[in-house]
């Protein structure tokens, strides 16, 4: 299956000393995203509760933020980068996803992972079990979501979660694809192969990448799936290009990713203040690669 080349825009929810402690996405919604969403296929929002430099650094909540963006920009795809599943009960996540899919008219992808920031879970009073348990919970959550998105009377009995006739009308006309962020070769990547419509990962050396991709493919085949049905996404953290040479470097990085099977490139440009570099990126990177 050939996946079209897509570009995502990661809008930072964080505020710190470099943004006068204002959540960057707040200003981007006003000044940057009206331009960026003309050229980028998707907007991505991370999921944390407070910042990283200081605990008082703001970090706006992920679902509320993505819903705000969905309402303001009506022709861009929407995904989280990625949700920590333990922050919200599975059935609630399923219901929220179905609702946003209805309002966005099919533009939402559920981006989700097993979580990693233990201190945040503990601060909010949420359980943070060992990785094997978190990934087992994540797999049950994905199963629960798909039942609640497609059945009038969904029930599920798992090792960690259960629902009983957990009706979630209105069912979305377009079942949200599930993007799983995972890197661990023992547990996470086999889960991707079994369950993910999209896999979000970070591309390392060729050997490391080929091994990880092979684990996903082997797991998919074992689950009776076609591995080529899984879209691969990655994030590139780098400032917008300001010169022709920097644009060329970007194009080389993305071209290499394409050769490795990545088709959705999520761009973390940080906190650009002007829209002109967005136009440069579109003209010198996006357009040539799409036409290439």
Average pLDDT over residues 7-25: 96
Tell me the mean pLDDT in the region 177-195: 97
pLDDT of residue 2 exceeding 90, the answer is no
Predicted confidence band of residue 65 (pLDDT cuts 50, 70, 90): very high
- So what's the pLDDT on residue 142? 98
pLDDT at 292: 77
- For 56-68, the DSSP string reads TS-B--HHHHHHH
pLDDT for 66 beyond 90: yes
- Considering the four listed CATH numbers 3.40.50.720, 3.20.20.30, 3.90.1170.50, 3.90.950.20, the one that applies to the domain covering 6-291 is 3.20.20.30
Summarised one tens digit per residue, pLDDT across range 37-62 is: 999 999 999 999 999 999 999 999 99
pTM comes to 0.97
Cα-flanking dihedrals φ and ψ of residue 44, to 5°? -120, 140
Q: Which helix (H) or strand (E) holds 139?
A: helix 131-150
What's the mean per-residue pLDDT of the chain?
97
Q: Who has greater pLDDT, 18 or 231?
A: 231
What percentage of the chain exceeds 70 in pLDDT? Answer: 100
State pLDDT tens for residues 252-284: 999 999 999 999 999 999 999 999 999 999 999
**Average pLDDT of the residues in 193-221:** 96
**How far is residue 17's CA from residue 257's CA, in Å, rounded to a whole number?**
33
Domain ranges of the chain: 6-291
Residue 26 pLDDT grade (very low, low, confident, very high; cuts 50, 70, 90):
very high
Render pLDDT for 81-118 as a digit per residue (tens, 0 to 9): 999 999 999 999 999 999 999 999 999 999 999 999 99
Give the total residue count for the chain.
292
Identify the band that residue 1 occupies on the pLDDT scale cut at 50, 70 and 90.
low
| Residue 185: DSSP 8-state | T
Please state the rounded mean pLDDT for residues 190-206.
Answer: 95
Mean pLDDT calculated for residue range 188-198: 98
- Percent with pLDDT over 90 in the chain: 96
From the CB of residue 247, how many other CB atoms can be counted at a distance below 10 Å?
A: 19
Phi-psi region of 276 (alpha: psi -120 to 50; beta: other; left: phi over 0): alpha
Kindly list the distances between the CA atom of residue 166 and the CA atoms of 152, 154, 161, 176, 195, in Å, as whole numbers in the listed order: 8, 5, 12, 18, 21
């Amino acid at each position: 299956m050939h996946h079209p080349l897509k570009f995502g825009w990661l809008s930072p929810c964080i505020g710190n000393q470099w943004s006068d402690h204002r959540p960057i996405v707040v200003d981007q919604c006003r000044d940057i995203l009206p331009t960026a969403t003309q050229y980028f296929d998707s907007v991505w929002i991370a999921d944390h509760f407070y910042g990283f430099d200081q605990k008082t650094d703001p970090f706006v909540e992920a679902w509320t933020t993505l819903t705000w963006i969905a309402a303001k920009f009506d022709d861009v795809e929407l995904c989280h980068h990625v949700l920590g599943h333990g922050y919200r009960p599975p059935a609630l996540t399923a219901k929220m996803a179905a609702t946003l899919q209805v309002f966005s008219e099919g533009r939402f992808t559920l981006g989700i992972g097993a979580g990693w920031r233990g201190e945040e879970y503990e601060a909010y009073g949420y359980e943070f079990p060992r990785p094997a348990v978190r990934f087992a919970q994540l797999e049950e959550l994905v199963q629960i979501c798909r039942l609640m998105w497609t059945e009038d009377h969904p029930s599920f009995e798992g090792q960690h979660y259960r629902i009983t006739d957990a009706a979630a009308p209105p069912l979305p006309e377009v079942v949200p694809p599930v993007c799983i962020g995972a890197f661990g070769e023992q547990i996470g990547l086999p889960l991707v192969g079994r369950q993910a419509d999209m896999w979000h990962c970070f591309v390392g050396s060729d050997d490391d990448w080929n091994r990880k991709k092979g684990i996903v493919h082997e797991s998919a085949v074992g689950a009776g799936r076609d591995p080529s049905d899984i879209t691969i996404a990655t994030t590139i953290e780098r400032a917008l290009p300001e010169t022709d040479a920097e644009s060329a470097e970007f194009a080389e990085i993305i071209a290499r990713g394409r050769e490795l099977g990545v088709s959705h490139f999520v761009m973390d440009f940080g906190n650009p203040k002007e829209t002109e570099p967005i136009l440069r990126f579109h003209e010198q990177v996006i357009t040539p690669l799409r036409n290439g």
